[in-house]
Homo-oligomer: A and B are copies of this chain.
């Protein structure tokens, strides 16, 4: 990022915001005037059916952008919920178009992020559409593991893992009971252990094999 771009982004920034676990950062169909970047904590994008069924579309980790869709369409088609307490960098939405005009290469980076986020959703769609329960859970864990590792949030194969089993179930299109049993089976096979919000991946290789995990999404990312 050039110095000029950096200065531009700084000027773009309004401040920071702190939100409690469980609250909605963005509600479905809402349009607020800000875009965010997740600075610390975990969040989840999700959509719901009117009878309450819920599907988590993707997990957001530090560095991810929140509210791009809302910025482009003037209202979000999905909601975003804080999974843990969360701190966000806040940017002004009105100046979003300005970014494309004045710093075209930053505009390109935004497109990069949009495409990247689509790639993750696609990957989740493949999982939910065509993998069985064990494969789904294995895939989910490996892919989160790798993302966290890239952020240097894994040490000794162990990471913070603040998701409830209900949330895992909603991400994978499974019932909570079956999710529980599947997790337990992976534990019995010594592939993972999960206690008090700490996850250890003992045997990534076997998980990859079970999940038919295909590395997939590029690791390089623009700084924004």
Which A residues are closer than 8 A to B by beta carbons? 45, 47, 49-51, 53-55, 57, 68-69, 72-73, 77-78, 97, 100-101, 104-105, 107-108, 110-112, 114-115, 117-119, 121-126, 128-131, 172-173, 212, 214, 216-218
When the two chains form their complex, are residues B51 and A212 in contact, meaning their CB atoms are under 8 A apart? yes
Bound-state CA distance A199–B82 (Å) is 43
Chain copies in complex: 2
CB distance from A107 to the nearest CB of B (A): 5
Bound-state CA distance A50–B131 (Å) is 12
CB distance from A143 to the nearest CB of B (A): 13
Extra contacts besides A53-B131, A78-B122, A130-B173 (16): CB < 8 Å: A47-B123, A53-B130, A54-B130, A55-B125, A55-B126, A57-B125, A69-B118, A72-B112, A77-B122, A77-B216, A77-B217, A97-B108, A100-B100, A107-B111, A117-B118, A128-B128
When the two chains form their complex, are residues B47 and A122 in contact, meaning their CB atoms are under 8 A apart? yes
CB distance from A81 to the nearest CB of B (A): 15
Known A100-B107, A101-B104, A105-B101: A118·B114 in contact at CB below 8 Å? yes
Provide a sorted-by-A list of 14 A–B residue pairs whose CB atoms are within 8 angstroms: A49-B126, A72-B111, A77-B119, A77-B122, A100-B111, A101-B104, A107-B108, A114-B115, A118-B118, A124-B125, A125-B128, A128-B129, A128-B173, A130-B173
Q: In the complex, which residues of chain B have a beta carbon less than 8 angstroms from the beta carbon of A108?
A: 97, 100, 107
